[in-house]
């Protein structure tokens, strides 16, 4: 394919609880981006209810794809390829997006491209809406941090990934959700913790920072347990008629600081050790204000973080990554199936 041609990719993303479709031109310019969120639907459960998520995808997928094409002022015949998330994610959710993409590809003859969801998050930093912006320089140290994933990947070139380390237990976003639940702050946990932390003292409580200098891996289970023990201690004292209000804001601020300290320190150390020319932060937790501020202040190289609306799950990032796969001539069979536990890359030395 001639990379000087105008190439329009329709992206479809249904890995969890967002039904999304987008049209992106040449892997960068967003022509449309539609996201139907299920947050309010799942908030009553304190997290994503998988069966309900897949059913809601079925209800909304057709209208979301239709609106993405309409907002881009295009018809399906104007699309050069369809990119869809194959995994990782919830199997029931993934199958809805894949079946939609396969149906469109089969009926139109448009090439179908399968994408790893984490690869999409990385390519969110290539997106722009109005004016073209600077892109990360290779090699890139990419921190992918979300509700289901926390890992460091060295990106040597387009589509060339080596995983340096990953969480050994809870992902950072998962820890935010669980701690928010412990503190009665609601769902989703990331924004709730951030809001409470704004009025708290991040130095009020010293929570553990696991594996800070031991490896590229992460661990947040001990931090979550430390918060649980502190909350239980306050609850026990109150049950013994010792009136002590739980310092929710201070706990939230101190917890947030502990998570951010680990993420920032490991990412910068990995960038320095590998000679990375830029740092990229991707995934839902990259919307955290403290994380964005700390990584920019301390990084010795350029830092790239998507605008807030492209940090969380969206289809524009899938379409962007799909462009680079199309350019390389990578096209899967229409027989592709969901890969709920698909890793982006093998772990390197």
Which residue's structure tokens are 């031109």? 25
User: What is the structure's pLDDT at 334?
Assistant: 84
What digits encode the pLDDT tens for the residues 178-205?
Answer: 999 999 998 899 999 999 999 999 999 9
Adjacent-strand bridge partners of 278: 140, 302
Measure the CA dihedral 86/88/93/98, to 10°.
0
Q: Report in angstroms the alpha-carbon separations of 232 from 135, 174, 239, 260, 340.
A: 47, 20, 10, 24, 35
Structure confidence at residue 160 (pLDDT): 96
Q: Are 11 and 83 in contact (CB under 8 A)?
A: yes
- What is the pLDDT of the chain when averaged over all its residues? 93
In whole angstroms, give the CA distance from residue 307 to residue 339: 28
266-280 pLDDT per residue, tens = 999 999 999 999 999
Q: Give percent above pLDDT 70 in the chain.
A: 97
Q: What pLDDT was estimated at residue 3? A: 55
For the segment 202-252, what is each residue's pLDDT rounded down to a tens digit?
A: 999 999 999 988 789 999 999 999 999 999 999 888 776 666 789 999 999
Which pLDDT tens digit goes with each residue over 19-64?
Answer: 999 999 999 999 999 999 887 777 777 778 788 889 999 999 999 9
Q: What is d(CA 304, CA 249) in angstroms, rounded to the nearest whole number? A: 29
Q: For position 236, what pLDDT does the model report? A: 86
Give 316-336 pLDDT, tens digit per residue. 999 999 999 999 988 777 888
Report residue 311's pLDDT band, with 50, 70 and 90 as the boundaries: very high
Three-class DSSP category at 163: strand
Are 346 and 163 a contacting pair, CB within 8 Å?
yes
Tokens found for residue 252: 């939230």
The candidate with the shortest Cα–Cα distance to 6, out of 33, 27, 34, is: 27
* Per-residue pLDDT at 245: 86
pLDDT, tens only, 137-150: 999 999 999 988 99
Residues making up the chain, counted from first to last: 349
Write out the two tokens for 5: 């041609």
Q: What is the pTM assigned to this prediction?
A: 0.94
Q: Tell me, what DSSP letter sits at residue 109?
A: -
**Dihedral sign (CA 314, 316, 319, 320):** negative
Dist. CA 300–CA 149, nearest whole Å: 25
> In 3D, which of 64, 60, 71, 57 has the Cα closest to residue 24?
71
Whether residue 111 has pLDDT greater than 80: yes
Domains within the chain, CATH numbers bracketed: 8-127+310-327 (3.30.420.40), 140-304 (3.30.420.40)
CA angle 291, 295, 298 (to 5 degrees): 140
Give 113's strand partners.
83
pLDDT score for 85: 98
Percent of the chain with pLDDT over 90: 83
Quick check: 216 and 222 in contact, CB under 8 A? no
Contacts (Cβ under 8 Å, ≥6 apart) of 158: 324, 328
Report the DSSP pairing between strands 8-13 and 81-87.
parallel
CA distance 142 to 107: 37
Quick one: pLDDT at residue 282? Answer: 96
Contact status, residue 62 vs residue 34, Cβ threshold 8 Å: no
**CA separation for the pair 21, 245 (Å, rounded):** 46
Q: What is the mean pLDDT of residues 303-317?
A: 96
Cis, peptide link before residue 211, omega less than 30° from 0:
no
CA dist 271 and 261 (Å) reads 15
| Cis ω before 88 (30° cut-off from 0) | yes
């Amino acid at each position: 394919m001639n990379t000087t041609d105008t190439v329009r990719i329709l992206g479809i993303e249904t890995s969890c609880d967002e039904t999304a479709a987008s049209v992106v031109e040449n892997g960068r310019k967003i022509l449309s981006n539609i996201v139907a969120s299920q947050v309010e639907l799942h908030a009553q459960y304190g997290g994503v209810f998988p069966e309900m998520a897949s059913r809601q995808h079925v209800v909304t997928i057709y209208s979301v794809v239709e609106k993405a094409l309409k907002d881009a002022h295009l018809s399906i015949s104007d699309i050069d390829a369809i990119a869809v998330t194959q995994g990782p994610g919830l199997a029931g959710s993934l199958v809805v997006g894949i079946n939609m993409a396969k149906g469109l590809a089969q009926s139109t003859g448009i090439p179908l491209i399968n994408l790893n969801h984490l690869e999409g998050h990385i390519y969110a930093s290539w997106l722009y809406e109005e004016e073209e912006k600077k892109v990360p320089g290779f090699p890139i140290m990419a921190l992918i941090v979300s509700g289901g994933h926390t890992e460091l990947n060295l990106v040597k070139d387009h589509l060339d990934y080596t995983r340096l380390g990953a969480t050994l237990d809870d992902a950072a976003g998962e820890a935010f959700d669980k701690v928010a639940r412990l503190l009665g702050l609601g769902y989703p946990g990331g924004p709730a913790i951030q809001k409470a932390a704004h009025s708290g003292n991040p130095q009020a409580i010293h929570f553990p920072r696991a594996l800070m200098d031991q490896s590229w891996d992460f661990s947040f289970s001990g931090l979550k347990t430390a918060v649980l023990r502190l909350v239980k201690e306050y609850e026990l004292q109150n049950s013994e008629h010792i009136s002590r209000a739980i310092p929710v804001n201070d706990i939230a601020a101190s917890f947030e600081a502990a998570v951010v300290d680990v993420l920032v320190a490991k990412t910068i150390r990995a960038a320095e050790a590998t000679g990375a020319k830029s740092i990229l932060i991707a995934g839902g937790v990259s919307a955290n204000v403290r994380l964005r501020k700390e990584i920019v202040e301390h990084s010795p190289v350029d830092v790239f973080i998507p605008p807030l609306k492209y940090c969380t799950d969206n289809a524009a990032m899938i379409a962007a990554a799909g462009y680079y796969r199309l350019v390389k001539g990578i096209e899967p069979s229409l027989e592709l199936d969901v890969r709920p536990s698909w890793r982006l890359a093998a772990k390197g030395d």
